[in-house]
Amino acid sequence: MTELIGIPPALLFGQLLVGLINGSFYAMMSLGVAVIFGMLRIGNFVHGAQYMLGAFGAWYLVNLPELFPDLGLPSIGYWWALIIVPIGVACIGAGMERVFIRRVYELDHAYGLLLTVGLAMVIEGLFNVGYGAAGQQYEVPAQLKGSINLGFMFLPYYRAWVIAAALVLCFGTWYLIERTKLGSYLRAATENPDLVRAFGVNVPRMLMLTYAFGVGLAGLAGVMAAPIYQVGPQMGQGIIITIFAVVVIGGMGSIAGAIFTGLLMGLVEGLTKVFYPQASTTVIFVIMAVVLVLRPAGLFGRETTAHSVADVSSGRAGSILENGPFWFCILLCVGLVLPFVIFPIFAMKILCLALFAMAYNLVFGYVGLLAFGHAAFYGASSYVTAHSAAIWGLPPELCLLLGVSVSTLLGALFGWLAIRRQGLYFAMITLALAQIVYFYALQSGWTHGEDGIQSVPRGRLFGIIDLKNSFNMYFVTLTVFLAAFAFIYRIIHSPFGQTLKSIRDNEARSISLGYSTNHFKLIAFTLSAMLAGLAGGLKAIIFQIASLADVYFMASADALLMTLIGGVGTLLGPIVGAVVVVTLQTKLATFGAWVVIIQGAIFVLCVLFMRKGIVGTLEEFLSNRVARRAGKEFGPATEPISSRPEL
């Protein structure tokens, strides 16, 4: 059969073996994510970092004599690591659940995802500081060295062990949760905790142990992966996005779906490497898009009602902080002075990222859709704008127009695919779709891979304004920024914008009033993508480069972080957040990997303690102050109960 299609049998079966091994890890990792989401409704984005902790735990144990020569500790091998490390990682997970995770159980799913994103950044950043980007070697255990000749290929003993162990572990976990009394208690505790508590079950402890169990699965997968892949701080970051795509295909929270889809996607990935290697990195995300078109809940998922993130927003139309014309004038005055106070390049970076954050806030703050794919729009526009200027020699206005057009079309396509889902589902879909753009940019010839498009000429705007002059470039950027600010203000204060806010606050009521909510959300998402593309195109011209950093996941995380810090659903929040983030990145640039740790810590603090952001918190303070003054002036309508004498 293989000879008929011109493929050597060794290549085909070798890639199938690699695919089955990858699929085993996908299944184990997806199983942990599915258990945690199915039981706790938490999108555990820190799962990749916990997988990395498992691999490092095994490496630490085997290298104890070298790491601590004065203590005389013995080297602890692979087999003991399979027991010790998952328990240790599970204990770390239990501590994380007790300190952080349980604080967001009662909130929207988006908060859990944002919290775990911040925790992942902190953990991976700490290991990056300690070990750098280089990987550490971990030897295959002596008992599993060697291979067996199957006639058409050699099968390494260790890889056969990984496949067998993963299958036993996955199906054992499925049986435990779906077919035992303990599993029924777990499912009941998530559906009706009060009823389960009435039977004498300690529900908080059960939820903590459930999270620890899911995390322990990630730690065990890390130990098993250590002899196959290099042990490094970024090993979890590369796999976690794929894992969420697998979980979305199988159905969020479906245990059987996670196992079956993980194994299947590994095999599909292996076959793709044989027939079309360039598509092997994106095939899972393409399959995800097709599945979502045909079955939005995934192959094994059930339709669920997702929460909105309306309680994140804090803007109030009557507040002085939401007075668009007033702040437009303030921003204009500040903008005219800014390049004479700080470097124009630094000022342009603030304006560009503020525009990006405002674009993101339009869909997150005013529609309630948590998106993780805006890097695709920002980066795609950056690449198209840079290519048009550097290769085609077009004037900057046409380059920007082309870049914005591409980002708008991408936004319409992504929105059409994802808009039928909400909450965590929507976030994961947009993230996975954005990964397709990232891998395309990495592999395509015209984007120049990791080198990016450099030395982009700024040109002359309309053939008149020489943009090579930094002051000219700054004032053009300021003009575009102010125009976008006015455009966004007009949108959110128009009847269309009021409809968006009503959908965010109560979508069911909007549907009952006859509004096609998906239609409104799609328009808003497309407009957001267009504005994100405008920011990306400007960035390419200002800094004269388009790179993979523009389309990488962290670009979306930066937009989200700026919005959270400033205040979601506020007019000025994204601008304030951009100022804070850019200033931190600049001041802390000499600290290297510590910047990521600090950003992750800010994520965590914002989610736990300051969900309204700087502007939202200030607005709440001013509103309370006005209310207190009104109470003093007119007196309370009724005497507070607490101040009345007892009868």
pLDDT tens digit sequence for 335-385? 999 999 999 999 999 999 999 999 999 999 999 898 989 999 999 999 999
The tokens for 131 are 């070990």
Rounded Cα gap, residues 26 and 24, in angstroms: 5
Q: Identify the DSSP state of 154.
A: E
The reported pLDDT for the residue numbered 203 is 77
Query: Whose CA is closest to 561, among 592, 533, 595, 593?
Result: 595
CA quadruple 474, 479, 484, 489: dihedral positive or negative? positive
Rounded Cα gap, residues 512 and 515, in angstroms: 7
Residue for token digits 């998906």?
518
Residue 461 φ/ψ, nearest 5 degrees: -70, 125
- Biggest CA–CA distance in the chain, Å, is 95
Distances (CA, A) of 480 to 332, 483, 484, 537, 644: 12, 5, 6, 11, 59
Q: Kindly state the helix (H) or strand (E) to which residue 546 belongs, with its residue range.
A: strand 545-546
Asked whether the beta carbons of 58 and 77 are under 8 A apart, the reply is no
Query: Whose CA is closest to 258, among 431, 427, 428, 34?
Result: 34
Burial of residue 360 (number of CB atoms within 10 Å: 0-12, 13-18, 19+):
buried
Rounded Cα gap, residues 355 and 372, in angstroms: 17
Which residues does residue 453 pair with via DSSP β-bridges, in sequence order? Answer: 546
The reported pLDDT for the residue numbered 647 is 26
483-487 CB contacts, 8 Å cutoff, 24+ apart: 484/355, 484/358, 484/359, 484/531, 484/534, 485/324, 485/328, 485/331, 485/358, 486/324, 486/328, 487/531
Encode pLDDT of 567-584 as tens digits.
Answer: 998 999 999 999 999 998
Rounded Cα gap, residues 288 and 225, in angstroms: 25
The tokens for 289 are 């898009």
Query: Can you point out the beta strands (E) in 43-159?
Result: 147-149, 154-156
Amino acid type, 403: G
Burial of residue 523 (number of CB atoms within 10 Å: 0-12, 13-18, 19+):
middle
Q: Identify the DSSP state of 75.
A: P
Coil vs helix vs strand at 147: strand
Distance, CA of 528 to chain centre? 17
The tokens for 528 are 């957001």
Query: Can you point out the beta strands (E) in 374-524?
Result: 453-454, 460-461, 465-466
Distances (CA, A) of 85 to 224, 236, 585: 11, 16, 35
Domain positions in the chain are 24-147+154-294, 324-553
Domain 24-147+154-294 in this protein, CATH class: mainly alpha
Coil vs helix vs strand at 217: helix
Helices (H) and strands (E) in the chain, counts: 25, 6
Burial of residue 337 (number of CB atoms within 10 Å: 0-12, 13-18, 19+):
exposed
What percent helix, strand, coil does the chain show, rounded to 5?
75, 0, 25
Rounded Cα gap, residues 380 and 632, in angstroms: 56
159: Cα within 13 Å, side-chain hemisphere: 18
Q: Kindly state the helix (H) or strand (E) to which residue 199 belongs, with its residue range.
A: none
Asked whether the beta carbons of 624 and 574 are under 8 A apart, the reply is no
Residues of the chain with pLDDT under 50: 1-2, 4, 305-311, 637-647
- Strands 545-546, 453-454: pairing is antiparallel
Asked whether the beta carbons of 210 and 201 are under 8 A apart, the reply is no
The reported pLDDT for the residue numbered 645 is 36
Entry field: residues in the chain: 647
The tokens for 377 are 């729009």
3-state secondary structure 156-221: EHHHHHHHHHHHHHHHHHHHHHHHCHHHHHHHHHHHCHHHHHHCCCCHHHHHHHHHHHHHHHHHHH
Q: What percent of the chain has pLDDT over 70?
A: 92
Rounded Cα gap, residues 434 and 548, in angstroms: 12
The tokens for 604 are 């965590």
Asked whether the beta carbons of 297 and 303 are under 8 A apart, the reply is yes
Rounded Cα gap, residues 94 and 208, in angstroms: 6
Rounded Cα gap, residues 603 and 597, in angstroms: 10
The tokens for 536 are 């990306």
The reported pLDDT for the residue numbered 304 is 54
Rounded Cα gap, residues 321 and 65, in angstroms: 60
Rounded Cα gap, residues 247 and 264, in angstroms: 12
pTM for the structure as a whole: 0.87
Distances (CA, A) of 194 to 98, 201, 203, 408: 19, 10, 9, 47
Asked whether the beta carbons of 410 and 529 are under 8 A apart, the reply is yes
The tokens for 429 are 């879909």
At CA 366, angle to CA 360 and CA 372, rounded to 5? 35
Rounded Cα gap, residues 255 and 183, in angstroms: 12
Rounded Cα gap, residues 476 and 461, in angstroms: 9
CA Rg, the chain, in Å?
A: 26
Angle between helices 553-566 and 573-587 (to 10 degrees): 120
Distance, CA of 344 to chain centre? 31
Coil vs helix vs strand at 453: strand
Distance, CA of 173 to chain centre? 27
Amino acid type, 294: L
Encode pLDDT of 168-194 as tens digits.
Answer: 999 998 888 888 887 777 767 666 666
